[in-house]
Amino acid sequence: MKPVVQLDRTGCGIASAAAIAGISYGRAKAAAAALGISIDDDRLWSDTAYVRQLLGQLGRRVDSVPRPFRSWDTLPGCALLAIKWHRQGTRAAWHWVVYVREDGRRYVLDSKRALKSHVRRDFGRMRPKWYLAVMPRGSR
């Protein structure tokens, strides 16, 4: 899986969906807009519904209920992770990243534009709160 860089301040969920679907940020943003998902809506980082809906539109299934993060070793092969979890007023907020385990390697795709590398392996620095499992392609 390849990283996709977010081009908007609130675009981490769109970029994560694009990486999972294997498409560009622009295509994922257009698909989101067609679903009525606006880049200006802060629910992109404070609600799971938009990202789940977008991934469904892009042909990928994701869990409907977040699971608490226990350890890196217990994550499925692909998962949306909520990191940098905090309160913003009365709402929870976080940064979406994608955890990937494939071919004996594991890494996190982080879409934050300012990063030198969008493929992260500094697991001790990230503090996931919970995750949504992403089903393998073709699973029902």
Mean pLDDT of 37-56: 86
- Judge whether 47 lies within some domain: yes
Neighbouring residues of 96: CB distance < 8 A, sequence distance ≥ 6: 12, 13, 15, 16, 45, 51, 80, 81, 82, 111
Nearest to 98 by CA among 15, 8, 10: 15
Q: Does residue 2 lie within any of the structural domains?
A: no
pLDDT band per the 50, 70, 90 thresholds, residue 138: low
User: What confidence tens digit (pLDDT) does each residue in 102-117 have?
Assistant: 999 999 999 999 999 9
What letter does residue 62 receive in the DSSP assignment?
B
Could you tell me which residues are beta bridge partners of residue 68? 130
Residue 55 domain flag: yes
Residue with tokens 């990937």: 100
Q: Is residue 78 part of a domain?
A: yes
pTM strictly above 0.85: yes
Tell me whether residue 4 is in a domain: no
Q: Report yes or no on 35 lying in a domain.
A: yes
Please give the tally of structural domains in the chain: 1
| Each residue's pLDDT tens digit, 60-114 | 999 999 999 999 999 999 999 999 988 878 888 899 999 999 999 999 999 999 9
pLDDT (mean) for 115-132: 95
State yes or no: pLDDT of 140 exceeds 60: no
Give a yes or no: residue 5 inside a domain.
no
List the domain range (segments joined by +) for residue 52.
12-133
The neighbour count for residue 103, using CB atoms within 10 Å, is 6
pLDDT confidence of residue 139: 60
pLDDT at position 9, please? Answer: 87
Positive or negative torsion for Cα 77, 78, 83, 87? negative
In a domain, 62, yes or no: yes
Q: To which residue do tokens 């629910």 refer? A: 43
